[in-house]
């Protein structure tokens, strides 16, 4: 019996020894695989990253030729898997590169089309403003009378607008044509042309109404021009460096234009408020209620210089002595009240 126990113990020790040996071999095999999958350092920066415990990316192409050979011989399945992964990664990179190049190509092509329309659009905007500011194209103008009579008589007498009206009509046609050329459209039917033209300054509208339409058009032009100029600057920069135009430059141009657009929209808000106030009396701007206090305005309404001066005057600002305590107090009160009413005072700060 003792002999049997001894034989059993001996067999158990042998099994444990065999297991330990297998574990040791497995560990050595893992260490060997790890060493083969670790790219040899090619630079001091790579060496530093390894010393800090950061494992370089185990891509097949980064391995030393001797590592790849040993890997193929000792771990053929791992080598095959790495080659397949790198092949797929290469396809993905090529796809992303081609997609980026196509996006850039489309963006630059569109930019060229838009750039070609800018001179004509700029001229149209200038003609719009000249006709509105210098001439009379309102409801009781000669140009509107001619237009009304032509509509009533079916153009039987073919009455012509005056110089300002003709300038306004030409500007509208030219602006429409430049936009059509930019998008590659061949033309519009009369109905659609009429609908689009109603979003432009028109004969028969008041000066203020026409300016309220023109100002956003000018702001849109400025933003468009800024984007194209920014894009051109990046194109020139990379061309001088002898490098292809990267997608990141396109994103930078868009980001810079977005920042410019925010500032330009603030300026537009101020312009539109000035146009609105040009039709109002001082009392209408202050819009005093029954208790003699100004009423609330829409949140974010720009506080113009004219409105600011009215607030200062109301609360005791002394123009003859602006540095006096009375004037300083009037400024503080006027700013506080304006903010409470919903005005944006950024424009005059």
pLDDT at 158 over 80: no
Distance of alpha carbon 133 from alpha carbon 147, whole angstroms: 20
φ, ψ of residue 344 in degrees (nearest 5): -95, 110
Q: What sections of 135-281 are H helices per DSSP?
A: 142-153, 163-183, 190-197, 207-241, 247-277
CA-closest candidate to residue 293, choices 278, 276, 272, 315? 315
Specify the 3-state DSSP secondary structure of 303. Answer: coil
- Residue 185 buriedness (CB in 10 A; 0-12 / 13-18 / 19+): exposed
Specify the pLDDT at position 237. 94
Q: What are the sequence ranges of the domains in the chain?
A: 110-277, 282-347
Contact by Cβ (8 Å): 124, 142: no
Contact by Cβ (8 Å): 153, 113: no
pLDDT digits (tens, 9 = 90+) for 298-343: 999 999 999 999 999 999 999 999 999 999 999 999 999 999 999 9
Contact by Cβ (8 Å): 165, 140: no
pLDDT digits (tens, 9 = 90+) for 212-235: 889 999 999 999 999 999 999 999
Specify the pLDDT at position 85. 78
In the structure, what pLDDT confidence band is assigned to residue 71 with cuts at 50, 70 and 90?
A: confident
pLDDT digits (tens, 9 = 90+) for 261-286: 999 999 999 999 999 999 899 988 88
pTM greater than the 0.75 cutoff: no
| Higher-scoring residue by pLDDT: 69, 335 | 335
φ, ψ of residue 72 in degrees (nearest 5): -65, -35
For 253-265, what is the mean pLDDT?
A: 93
């Amino acid at each position: 019996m003792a002999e049997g126990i001894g034989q059993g113990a001996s067999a158990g020790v042998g099994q444990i020894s065999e297991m330990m040996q297998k574990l040791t071999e497995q560990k050595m095999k893992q260490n060997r695989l790890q060493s083969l999958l670790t790219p040899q350092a090619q630079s001091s920066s790579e060496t530093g990253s390894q010393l800090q415990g950061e494992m370089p990316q185990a891509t097949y192409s980064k391995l030393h030729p001797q590592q790849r050979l040993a890997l193929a011989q000792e771990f053929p399945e791992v080598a095959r898997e790495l080659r397949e992964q790198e092949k797929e990664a290469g396809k993905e990179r090529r796809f992303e590169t081609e997609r980026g190049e196509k996006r850039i190509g489309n963006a630059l092509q569109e930019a060229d089309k838009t750039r070609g329309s800018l001179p004509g659009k700029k001229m149209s905007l200038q003609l719009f403003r000249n006709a509105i500011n210098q001439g009379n194209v309102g409801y009781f103008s000669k140009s509107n009378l001619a237009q009304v009579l032509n509509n009533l008589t079916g153009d039987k007498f073919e009455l012509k607008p005056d110089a300002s009206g003709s300038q306004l009509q030409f500007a509208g046609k030219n602006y429409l044509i430049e936009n059509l050329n930019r998008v590659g459209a061949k033309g519009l039917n009369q109905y659609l042309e009429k609908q689009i033209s109603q979003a432009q300054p028109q004969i028969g509208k008041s000066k203020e109404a026409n300016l309220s339409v023109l100002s956003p058009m000018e702001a849109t032009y400025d933003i468009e021009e800024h984007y194209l100029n920014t894009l051109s600057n990046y194109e020139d920069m990379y061309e001088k460096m002898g490098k292809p135009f990267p997608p990141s430059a396109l994103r930078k141009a868009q980001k810079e234009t977005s920042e410019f657009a925010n500032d330009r929209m603030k300026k537009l808000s101020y312009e539109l408020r000035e146009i609105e106030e040009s039709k109002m009396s001082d009392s209408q701007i202050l819009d005093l209620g029954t208790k003699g206090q100004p009423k609330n305005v829409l949140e974010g309404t720009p506080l113009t210089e004219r409105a600011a001066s009215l607030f200062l005057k109301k609360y005791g600002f002394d123009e003859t002595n602006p540095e006096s305590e009375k004037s300083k107090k009037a400024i503080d009160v006027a700013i506080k009240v304006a903010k409470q009413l919903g005005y944006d005072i950024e424009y005059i700060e």
